[in-house]
A and B are shown apart, each in its own frame.
Chain A
Amino acid sequence: MVQQLLLTASVSKAQFVPFKIALQTLTGMNPEPLARHTVILRPRFPYLPEKTTTKADPVETYRIRMTRVWDVANSGSMETNNTADENSEEVGKAAEKVENTESMKQNTTDGTSTEAGQSTHTLVADSVFDQSPETSKNNSIWTIQLSDIPAAGKRPVSIQNIYEATIYKTDDVLGYVDELGYMPETEFWTRGLRFYYNDVVVIEVVRFYISTRSTGAQNGPVPLRPVDKSASYHVRCFVDVANLNDLDNVARGVKQLEHLRTQLAGLIDLHVPDRRNMDSRLNSHIASVGPR
């Protein structure tokens, strides 16, 4: 079980460039590109224990996250007509820039790398619902994660327990998940930048994408669109502490995150996310009550 200490924020499109420069200065590093594909799984069948007169059944049912690398370079992007919406041009512009500068280092004479924003590209990706035999999902390494609701109470940072297992090798990942009692519910893609602050805090600046096709059986890569129409970025600053009893590292992590919040104050508002939005339990009472 990993304990994740977390602060989040949102950065608008206009703020993004100053924010990126600030992070580069603060961390003293060029960001690393980040691209992930995440599938949300839910139990195939409801859990229906016999009603007892004693206290409520403590057994909960959870959704599971399943994450792998999104191979942007190989799934590539698809040429689209002029009808491509405004947002798709901005799609992962920053991430593309990082990739472009890297690829330009490698082949400076090669002028094929196009300026991001000039050409109209729509990102595409391999869907987990892809039924075709050439699908990449069984050859990928996946990590399955299950998270508790973050700890209650007024805290300087969000503290959440994450259980995880990395699937190193399998022949049929969805087949196993199916036998385990889960099925894919939905999927999304994450793309952005990754910074490290003081070797302790990981800072991710990302955008989320979803398929423009409705889920279900389909073949071939799916075109994507950003979830957020305003094209803002989501910022996650987190510290993972491996050992539950490692209070020293928890204290250190909290301190570093608070320090980072002070450093970035005025630029972005790092805050503790609402724990109700991070509840992965099915039939959760907390998620359905109270103002959102």
Chain B
Amino acid sequence: MVTAVLFVQHASPSTITTFQDQISNELPQLLGHWSFELQIYLNNKYSKPEQISTAQVPNRYLYNLKLSYLKDKIHSISIINNNKSIVTAIPNSDNVTNRLEKDLIDMERQNDSTEHIVKAQTEDDDFVQGALRKKQEDTIEEAQRNKLLLQHIKMGCCSNLSAYSAETFEALVSSRLQSLWALKQTIKGEGGFGYIINVPLKQSGNDDDETDKFRLRTSNCFLHGIFKGFLIEIEHIDEKEDEKERIEDLHHKLTDLEKKNRLIMRFTKSIGKIKELIEMYHFPEGNLCFNVLNETKLDYLSDLCQQYCDALQF
């Protein structure tokens, strides 16, 4: 999944409505409302080596992005200094166990109806198998991660388990790490709407009936209540490529170098398609951000967060 974020700083109501009309003409699949919140923290200059004066301490930024459309347990993505990222979660046991149960029920249902199910390699990974059958994007990795999280909870590594818990990473940072970080800006995205469109791109040499699939999310951005611009998140969904990579990885066909090349190829191709889409459909003019956090590895969430950070610089 390759993403880019287009930020239109001088958006007028007419640019926004025109764009939304245009998308509606493509008969999109509607994804519903969404919102986001980006917090920007600046480092506290008084936390420093003793011999260095505060004027010499460089500016460093901590970003914390919350996207309402992410899965219930993923809470926020945090990047410091455009360098290192973490994805934080609320390990709410109800959510995690409910998901686990749901997957197991799905699996049992499948077992009843069909007998020809490919056994996954690991016997005990019922959870993972459940996800495998559902064939959702990314769910295998996610299921493995959830299993780890469940183990994490069982061993009592975290205390934040109540269904009513409102514990957040930003509460920790803003209330107890004041010696290190101070909240400078909060950018809110409101009135957002998501679409999936299938469009034929002319120049890519596709057959006539071949289309490319994109996920678009639009939102109005506000800095402390003042309208700052219009944001479009664009994601190129390449299911064929996903499937191909999954098979290649499963059979360990590629060397590290080949994998790296594959990644670069894929990234270039998808960004090309995104640019083509922007051109063909006359997206409003703005700042297109498609930087990634780590060039050797595409990471959907971290990269997306990085693009939001780049786009929303005021």
Counting CB contacts under 8 A, is A48 at the interface? Answer: yes
Counting CB contacts under 8 A, is B252 at the interface? Answer: no
A133 to B: closest C-beta gap in Å: 12
Cβ–Cβ < 8 Å partners of B62 in chain A: 179-180
**Other-chain contact of B180, A140, A173, A181 (Cβ < 8 Å):** A181
Complex Cα spacing A60 to B176, Å: 7
Cβ–Cβ < 8 Å partners of A35 in chain B: 155
Cβ–Cβ < 8 Å partners of A170 in chain B: 84-87
Counting CB contacts under 8 A, is B101 at the interface? Answer: no
Cβ–Cβ < 8 Å partners of A61 in chain B: 47, 179
A167 touches B50 (CB 8 A): no
A171 touches B166 (CB 8 A): no
B48 touches A48 (CB 8 A): yes
* Segment 20-69 of B: residues with Cβ below 8 Å from A: 43-44, 46-50, 60, 62
Cβ–Cβ < 8 Å partners of A202 in chain B: 156
A180 touches B180 (CB 8 A): yes
A175 to B: closest C-beta gap in Å: 4
Size range of the chain B interface in the assembly: 35 or more
A143 touches B155 (CB 8 A): no
B47 touches A163 (CB 8 A): no
Complex Cα spacing A281 to B70, Å: 35
A140 touches B148 (CB 8 A): yes
Complex Cα spacing A169 to B86, Å: 6
A45 touches B161 (CB 8 A): no
Complex Cα spacing A242 to B92, Å: 11
Cβ–Cβ < 8 Å partners of A96 in chain B: none
Complex Cα spacing A226 to B149, Å: 27
**Other-chain contact of B165, A2, A168, A173, A179 (Cβ < 8 Å):** A2
Majority secondary structure of chain B interface residues (helix, strand, loop or mixed): loop
Cβ–Cβ < 8 Å partners of A181 in chain B: 43, 47, 177, 180-181
Counting CB contacts under 8 A, is A260 at the interface? Answer: no
Counting CB contacts under 8 A, is B310 at the interface? Answer: no
A59 touches B81 (CB 8 A): no
A191 to B: closest C-beta gap in Å: 10
Cβ–Cβ < 8 Å partners of B160 in chain A: 2, 143, 164, 166, 240, 242
- Asked, given contacts A164-B167, A171-B299, whether A36 binds B175 with beta carbons under 8 Å apart, the answer is no
Complex Cα spacing A179 to B88, Å: 16
Counting CB contacts under 8 A, is B178 at the interface? Answer: yes
Binds B, one of A62-70, A83-91, A123-131, A151-159: A62-70
B86 touches A2 (CB 8 A): no
Counting CB contacts under 8 A, is A243 at the interface? Answer: yes
A48 touches B50 (CB 8 A): yes
Complex Cα spacing A2 to B168, Å: 11
Counting CB contacts under 8 A, is B162 at the interface? Answer: yes
Counting CB contacts under 8 A, is B189 at the interface? Answer: no
Complex Cα spacing A202 to B162, Å: 14
* Segment 42-62 of A: residues with Cβ below 8 Å from B: 43, 45-50, 59-62
Counting CB contacts under 8 A, is A32 at the interface? Answer: yes
Counting CB contacts under 8 A, is B158 at the interface? Answer: yes
B180 touches A165 (CB 8 A): no
A165 touches B85 (CB 8 A): no
Cβ–Cβ < 8 Å partners of B149 in chain A: 141, 166, 168
**Other-chain contact of B48, A45, A175, A178 (Cβ < 8 Å):** A45
A/B interface sample: 11 pairs, CB < 8 A: A34-B156, A36-B155, A43-B180, A46-B47, A61-B179, A62-B177, A143-B158, A148-B176, A168-B86, A179-B62, A181-B47
Given contacts A164-B158, A170-B84, A180-B62, 4 further A-B contacts (CB under 8 A): A47-B46, A163-B176, A176-B85, A240-B160
Q: Which residues of A contact B (CB under 8 A)?
A: 1-2, 4, 32, 34-36, 43, 45-50, 59-62, 67-70, 140-141, 143-146, 148, 162-173, 175-176, 178-181, 194, 202, 204, 240-243, 246
